[in-house]
Amino acid sequence: MTATVDHIAGLTYHGRKGAVANAFRYSVDYVLLDAEAELRTPWLFRRNRRGLTSLQDTDHGGPPGKGRGALWVRDVLEQHQMTGVEQIELLAQPRLMGHVFNPVSFWLCRRADGALITVIAEVSNTFGDRHSYLCHHADLAPILPSDTLKARKIFHVSPFQPVEGGYTFRFDITSERIGIWIDYARPDGGLIATLTGKRRRLSNRTILASAIRRPFGSRRVLTLIHWQALRLWLRGALYRARPTPPEKEVSR
């Protein structure tokens, strides 16, 4: 039996805490799919092939450009002795005309009954580095919309934030919508980041509509990131040089 792909015309918000406050929101396109299933896709979307839009395993599950997709996720789950995962979904921005940059994408790991029990937040920075945070309850109980999951920050993302403090994640993923909230807290500062949007079946029509509204795809995302960085620098935010990335790919 083949599976379908969902499209999320989402809205992301970033609010900086601390002495140099800054906030912005913009629209963004994500797709959500079963990473191990045979897919039934619109003609304008391709899985591991070139297309107007596509999602490639090499972009996820491992170093950027050298990913192994769901096979990597299975290895991570085994290394951390996590059992009971029957379905692995990927929530990520797709390639548009061959280009992609995902500041964060999410592997959603579910039991046979559909309960979400593990999320791997795959974080990439603009320097070409990547690190993933493994989010789950100690007893692998279902992750409910009201639950909060914590991880210590060990990866450099923004040059205007230090590598210290911690993240609090909250996930509300239903058949109709997605909601993800990330609260980065540190002494005298931090950041709130959110991703919300309704789920719709991906179609040639939705792909074309998104391409018309946001014709530059993730190139636009990168431009917006650098624009906000310039604003922070002009407002006197402290710039921090990129440190050596952590040796391990995954932490929790």
Phi, psi of 224 (to 5 degrees): -65, -40
1 occurs within a structural domain:
no
Q: pLDDT tens per residue, the chain (252 residues)? A: 689 999 999 999 999 998 888 898 999 999 999 999 999 999 999 999 999 999 999 999 999 899 999 999 999 999 999 999 999 999 999 999 889 999 999 999 999 999 999 999 999 999 999 999 999 999 999 999 999 999 999 999 999 999 999 999 999 999 999 999 999 999 989 999 999 999 999 999 999 999 998 887 778 888 888 888 888 888 888 899 999 999 999 998
CB atoms within 10 A of CB 187: 9
Instruction: Look up residue 146 and give its two tokens.
Output: 């009201």
Query: Tokens 């609260």 label which residue?
Result: 183
Is the pTM higher than 0.85? The answer reads yes
Q: Which of 156, 132, 149 is nearest to 72 (CA)?
A: 132
Residue 156 domain flag = yes
- Asked if the structure places residue 165 within a domain, the reply is yes
Asked whether the beta carbons of 107 and 122 are under 8 A apart, the reply is yes
- pLDDT at res. 249: 96
Q: Tokens in use for 140? A: 């692998």
Looking at residue 103, what is its pLDDT?
93
- Report how far residue 217's alpha carbon sits from residue 102's, in angstroms, rounded to the nearest whole number: 11
Q: Which DSSP helix (H) or strand (E) runs through 71?
A: helix 70-79
**Residue 53 falls within a domain, yes or no?**
yes
In a domain, residue 39? The reply is yes
Domain extent, residue 176, equals 6-251
Domain total of the chain = 1
Maximum separation of any 2 CA atoms in the chain, in Å: 56
- CA 244, 246, 250: angle at the middle one, nearest 5? 155
Three-state SS at 57: helix
Cα 192 versus chain centre, distance: 15
Please tell me the predicted confidence (pLDDT) of residue 131. Answer: 98
Q: Which DSSP helix (H) or strand (E) runs through 30?
A: strand 22-34
* pLDDT at residue 214, rounded to an integer: 86
pLDDT attached to residue 188 = 86
Burial of 155 (0-12, 13-18, 19+ CB in 10 A): middle
Amino acid identity for residue 220 in this structure? R
CB 14, CB 40: distance < 8 Å: no
Res 199: pLDDT: 97
User: Alpha carbon 250 to chain centroid distance?
Assistant: 14
CB 31 within 8 A of CB 5: yes
